[in-house]
Amino acid sequence: MQKWFQWFQPTIADNREQVTAIRNIVNMTSYPAPYILFGPPGTGKTSTIVEAVLQIWKNQPKANVLVAASSNLACDEVTKRLKQFIPEDDIFRFFSRSCERNIDGIDIGILEISNLATGIYEVPSYEHVYRSRITVSTVTNCGRFAQARITPTFFDYIFIDECGSAKEISALVPVAGVCTEGPKIHASIILAGDPKQLGPVVRTEYLKQTVHNTSLLDRLMSQGIYKRQQGQFNPLVITKLLDNYRSHEALIHYSNQWFYDGELRAQAAPDLANWAIGWDYLPNPAFPIIMHSVVGVTRMDRQCLSSFNKEEARCVLHYIQKILSDGINDRQIREEDIGVVTPYSKQVSYLRHGCRNYGWDNVEVGSTEQYQGREKPIMILSTVRSQRDHVGFLSNSKRLNVAITRARALMIIVGNPDTLQRDPHWYRLLRYISDNQGVRGVDFQLRKPDIDLSGQPFSYALEEADFA
């Protein structure tokens, strides 16, 4: 490690993987190939990106950086964190014209350093970009730089966050024509994301059979220099972050075993992750997961062709009411502390309507896609599917992984186990919860699906001491 690495975020120094990634990103060890930052849930991917940008800004005074992401939410989060350490003149947040409609919802501190600073959209001039060393924009909006013929040697580093959820053609927008000149790539490219979480949203069946259904991150990690060799990644081109700072150990155990090779380490602060332990409503007071078995009816809304389940919705609302009125272990719970996730748009709208009827305007209900990259102290998942031969959307293992890794301290799953266990991933999850006495509601019998469940070793039962 070079002596000049003085950390802006002191906790970085204690994380071996973050230190390795930042050092190699700054030193361009993978150039001209992209460097991949593999960030499983809650492992500090955004903090790593921010620290790498800060180190470049501090130690390479002539270097210019472009940070791109799929969503404005991610761009604003990076901008907000960078502003804590960098003079405002050195950061430029470039918004698309469509953001002008939602200008009232944008942080004033971010607006002041953007092309919406005057209250209306302005096409940025060369001066806007050239006078700022760090530019932040969505991936699609970066096409403006190519149109404006920004010098391809201007940006020295280009970070592409949320790369696992972007179509490859979108992820290439900040690169093609922005830092390229013929076959020459002038900037060091950093791709950040998680191939085990939801990929690109592709609505057309035909396109699902094409490259549009696979992200650039996913494709690269399955081949060449990015593949594991003898169980290890090559740190010169890829780093996998391993310390989970978000969740109680029980909440990441399943995903850790089945998606992340058992390598994640639970490092969340006890005051953030352990406060639900001992709650008298937990079937197992030492295990902060509840599987509430409900035998409901899946109904179809003929207008939007989406499913909903009234019985599950009633159960979800019951939990919200109990938690808000009684608290947990003498801890008062705010509406903002509770998130509700469900894979069906009709169930989202049905639950939102139910929350409004109770006056819970700040209990957030959203789809799995909307919760990717987000977290809440308490998450409630409504699975919807019941009394069907298959589990529909829920058979997507990446969707399951996202849904069950958003909670910090308490996870409640509401669904029909008889339906869910027909999928091998759900069978394993139900087995894990059942073995740890985390089940409430209607009795059910676990039956192995007629699918080969062999594969990675998985220890279902956890010692009670693990959750103290």
**Assigned token pair, 127:** 């001066």
Fold match flag (10-241 vs 249-441): yes
DSSP 372-408: TT--EEEEEEE----SSSS-GGGG-HHHHHHHTTSEE
Q: What is the pLDDT of residue 394?
A: 75
Task: Answer whether 152's CB lies under 8 Å from 180's CB.
Answer: yes
Mean pLDDT by 10 residues, the chain (468 residues): 75 96 98 97 97 97 96 94 95 92 91 90 78 94 84 95 91 91 93 93 69 85 91 96 98 98 97 97 98 91 85 97 97 98 94 97 95 95 83 84 97 96 94 97 85 45 32
Region of 260 on the Ramachandran plot (φ > 0 left; ψ -120 to 50 alpha; else beta)? alpha
Task: Answer whether 13's CB lies under 8 Å from 19's CB.
Answer: yes
Rounded to an integer, what distance in angstroms lies between the CA atom of residue 289 and that of residue 47? 28
Q: What is the pLDDT of residue 389?
A: 66
- We find that the CATH architecture of domain 249-441 is 3-Layer(aba) Sandwich (3.40)
Helices and strands of the chain, counted as H and E runs:
17, 19
If DSSP codes are grouped into helix, strand and coil, which group holds residue 38? strand
Q: How many CB atoms lie within 10 A of CB 281?
A: 15
- Going by the DSSP 8-state scheme, the letter that residue 174 receives in this structure is T
Q: What is the pLDDT of residue 129?
A: 82
Rounded to an integer, what distance in angstroms lies between the CA atom of residue 394 and that of residue 158? 35
Domain boundaries, the chain: 10-241, 249-441
**Assigned token pair, 115:** 């092309």
Q: What is the pLDDT of residue 206?
A: 64
- Going by the DSSP 8-state scheme, the letter that residue 409 receives in this structure is E
Q: What is the pLDDT of residue 202?
A: 67
Q: What is the pLDDT of residue 55?
A: 98
Q: Is the peptide bond before 449 cis (omega within 30 degrees of 0)?
A: no
**Beta pairing, strands 180-181 & 184-185:** antiparallel
If DSSP codes are grouped into helix, strand and coil, which group holds residue 254? helix
Rounded to an integer, what distance in angstroms lies between the CA atom of residue 273 and that of residue 467? 10
Rounded to an integer, what distance in angstroms lies between the CA atom of residue 237 and that of residue 240? 10
**Assigned token pair, 97:** 């014209």
Please give the CATH topology (third level) of the domain spanning 10-241: Rossmann fold (3.40.50)
